[in-house]
């Protein structure tokens, strides 16, 4: 029985973990979810450490929603680097799923984008743990999360 960690924030304006949880549960079995909610994205790397160290997670999904201000981009960059270090310190993977508020023009579009991206990253997390061959088979195919796949270059020609 593997354990998947879900780390999310109270700062985000969409409950992305709810969508991720459903997508994971629909994807298959063989895992148990462990979760931790923190205030903001900069707290996600430490949350993942807690999920790895105290909850025995084999992989974490880090869900966050940086705001529209320029400073939010700096925070997201720092959080991303923290997630990279956490992965190197633990040797375990963290799938980062960030949705920037500025990526969508309307609240409805933001909710929809956050939902799709959370679901698709959750599915990727599932594949990383249980079905790596599904990823290998689609290497170089221009897949996207939250937006339509762009496809491989060859098909465009």
Give the residue from 77, 55, 54 showing the smallest Cα distance to 64.
77
38 scored as a contact of a second copy (CB under 8 A): yes
Cβ contacts of 115 within 8 Å, gap of 6 or more: 14, 16, 19
Using CB under 8 A as the criterion, what x/- string covers residues 109-148 for binding a second copy?
-xx--x------x--x---x---x--xx-xxxxxxxx---
**Judged by CB under 8 A, which of 37, 55, 58, 131 binds a second copy?**
37
3 scored as a contact of a second copy (CB under 8 A): no
15 scored as a contact of a second copy (CB under 8 A): yes
Integer-rounded Cα Rg, in Å, for the chain is 15
Give the residue from 110, 115, 112, 19 showing the smallest Cα distance to 67.
110
**Judged by CB under 8 A, which of 28, 30, 56, 74 binds a second copy?**
74
| Number of residues in contact with a second copy under rule CB under 8 A | 74
Distance, in Å, from the CA atom of 142 to the CA atom of 88, rounded to the nearest integer, reads 26
36 scored as a contact of a second copy (CB under 8 A): yes
């Amino acid at each position: 029985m593997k354990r998947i960690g879900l780390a999310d924030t109270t700062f985000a304006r969409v409950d992305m973990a709810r969508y991720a949880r459903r997508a994971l549960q629909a994807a298959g079995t063989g895992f148990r979810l462990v979760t931790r909610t923190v205030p903001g994205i900069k707290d996600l790397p430490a949350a993942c450490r807690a999920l790895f160290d105290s909850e025995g997670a084999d992989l974490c999904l880090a869900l966050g929603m940086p705001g529209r201000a320029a400073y939010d981009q700096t925070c997201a960059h720092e959080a991303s680097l923290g997630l990279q270090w956490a992965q190197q310190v633990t040797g375990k993977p963290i799938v980062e799923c960030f949705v920037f508020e500025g990526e969508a023009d309307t609240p409805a579009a933001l909710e929809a984008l956050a939902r799709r991206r959370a679901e698709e990253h959750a599915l990727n997390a599932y594949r990383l743990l249980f079905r790596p061959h599904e990823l290998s088979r689609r290497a170089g195919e221009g897949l996207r999360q939250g937006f339509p796949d762009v496809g491989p270059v060859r098909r465009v020609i």
